[in-house]
Amino acid sequence: MKEEFAARMLRVHFGEDDKWQGKPLHEAILAKCRELGIAEAIVFRGIEGYGSASRIRHTSIWGLSKDAPIQMSIIDTEEQIARLIPLLDAMVEEGLVASSSVEVVRYSRNPANDANQP
Amino acid sequence: MLNAGKAVKVSIYLSDGATRHGVPVYSSILDFLFYRGVAGATVFKGVAGFGADHHMHSANMVEISDRLPIKIEFIETREKVDALLGKLEEMAGSGLIEMQETTVAKPAQVSKPKMPVLPAHLKIEGKAQMMRIFLSEEDRWKDKPLHEALVAALRANDIAGVTVYRGILGYGAHRRIHKDKPLLSSHHGSIMLSVIDTAEKLRAFLPLVDQMLEEGLVVFSDVDIIKYAYRALDVEPDAAQAGQGSASQ
């Protein structure tokens, strides 16, 4: 099944060591996205970067993370994203949230499943 | 669209054992024809034959030959064939390509809308679009990972650039949590392809995505291309600066 609609995409930038209630922040945000039934959320780990706090973030040569930069891409309709924004405000202490309006084409194998998800 | 009337039939003769980048040549040619929206193509396997090297290849009970003759045949309009020929010659390697004028008496019925012809690769600057394709690492198309097949399809259609990202965590249209397990297999990951080109070229590519992507999300956003530098093949390596198109947003 194929649907096309206007949507909003957020890109949230912060560090891998950032926590929310003892849990890695990216896992906490991803869990919130799932709770809200957000259509798509994906976490990327950058290899180097710096952010709002001007810390140089990079992964060490040993492969162990040393506060690597994290970027999350989150996509859904305007209404769904609007429900997520206040939560992000509370959870992201130090970071950046970029927002852009996008056009989405969604392909799904089983449309019934999509409707029943949380 | 292939209509009744004048057309060209192309036959490519190959050895079954011929490979290109580790893949059978007939398979990469067939993929290329598919990616470029050719109306139809058939691969025939010969039982015996010989080629330019005058080695007789035959199916024998004693030696199971993996070098039997292969013939790929397709019928298209003259313009389309001309556009494909350069690449086909390169891919066929030592094989033979034959073309003959033919007449289509009755075109095949098309159940889906035909793929439009994408315009040729041009230098692009200014308004463009970014297409992000979200899928799962375990998705496959034919015998290869879907993201690799999509990159090959984008390349065959001269799309300006694509980068594949592997997420460490995520979920998608199918709502499965993909978690990167460092010590276990790297399967079940979330993958994002980021593709940049003009809006019309990306839109023209979408019917192919329709066919290849069963489950996933495609996201379009407007971008401005500030710089697009690439190394042209006929220019000295240091004369043109190699680089990726960098885009805002």
pLDDT digits (tens, 9 = 90+) for B88-121: 999 988 889 999 999 999 888 766 555 555 555 5
Contacts of A105 in chain B (CB under 8 A): 206, 209, 217-220
Answer whether B42's CB lies under 8 Å from B4's CB. Answer: no
- Chain A residues in contact with B220 by the CB 8 A cut-off are 102-105
Q: Which chain B residues are Cβ-neighbours of A42 within 8 angstroms?
A: 134, 167, 169-172, 190, 192
Q: What percent of chain B has pLDDT over 90?
A: 41
**Short-list B223, B228, B221, CA closest to B132:** B221
Higher pLDDT, B17 or B197: B197
Given its phi and psi angles, is residue B107 left (phi above 0), alpha (psi -120 to 50 degrees) or beta?
beta
**Is B168 near chain A, with CB under 8 Å?**
yes
pLDDT at residue B32 greater than cutoff 80: yes
**Given an 8 Å threshold on Cβ–Cβ distance, is B168 in contact with A114?**
no
Minimum-distance CB partner of B217 among A33, A45, A106: A106
CB A36 within 8 A of CB A18: no
Would you call B167 and A43 a contact, using CB atoms and an 8 Å cutoff?
A: yes
Sign for the pseudo-dihedral over CA of B198, B212, A41, A38: positive
Q: How far away is chain B from the Cα of A6, in angstroms, using its nearest Cα?
A: 9
pLDDT: is B44 or A116 the higher one?
A: B44
What is the distance between the alpha carbons of residues B222 and B131, in angstroms, rounded to a whole number? Answer: 9
A107, B167: Cβ pair inside 8 Å? no
Q: What pLDDT score does B111 carry? A: 65
Q: Which of B136, B141, B140 is nearest to B175 (CA)?
A: B136
Decide which of B192 and B188 is more confident.
Answer: B192
Partners of residue A103 in chain B, C-beta under 8 Å: 219-221
pLDDT over threshold 50, residue B240:
no
**Cα–Cα distance measured from residue B48 to residue B237, given in angstroms and rounded to the nearest whole number:** 45
Weakest mean pLDDT among A42-46, B117-121, B123-127, B211-215: B117-121
Q: Which residue among B132, B169, B209 places its CB closest to the CB of A26?
A: B169
The per-residue pLDDT for B241 is 43
- Please identify every stretch of chain A with a pLDDT value under 50, giving residue numbers as ranges: 54, 113-118
pTM for the model: 0.75
Number of helical (H) and strand (E) elements in chain A, helices listed first: 3, 9
Chain B residues within 8 A of A107 when measuring between CB atoms: 173, 210, 213-218
- What amino acid occupies position B44? F
Average pLDDT, chain B: 80
Would you call B249 and A100 a contact, using CB atoms and an 8 Å cutoff? yes
Residues of A in contact with B183 (CB under 8 A): none
A100 contacts chain B (CB < 8 A): yes
Write the single-letter amino acid at B105: A
- A47-A52-A54-A56 Cα dihedral, nearest 10 degrees: -10
Q: How far is B213 from chain A (nearest CA, A)?
A: 7
Q: So what's the pLDDT on residue B220?
A: 96
Q: Say what the pLDDT of residue B100 is.
A: 94
Q: What is the DSSP letter of B113?
A: P
Give B132's contacts in chain A (Cβ within 8 Å): 73
Closest residue, chain B, to A108 (C-alpha): B215
Interface test with B, best of A40, A72, A80, A116 (most B CBs within 10 A): A40
Q: Could you tell me where the DSSP H helices lie in chain A?
A: 25-36, 78-91, 111-116
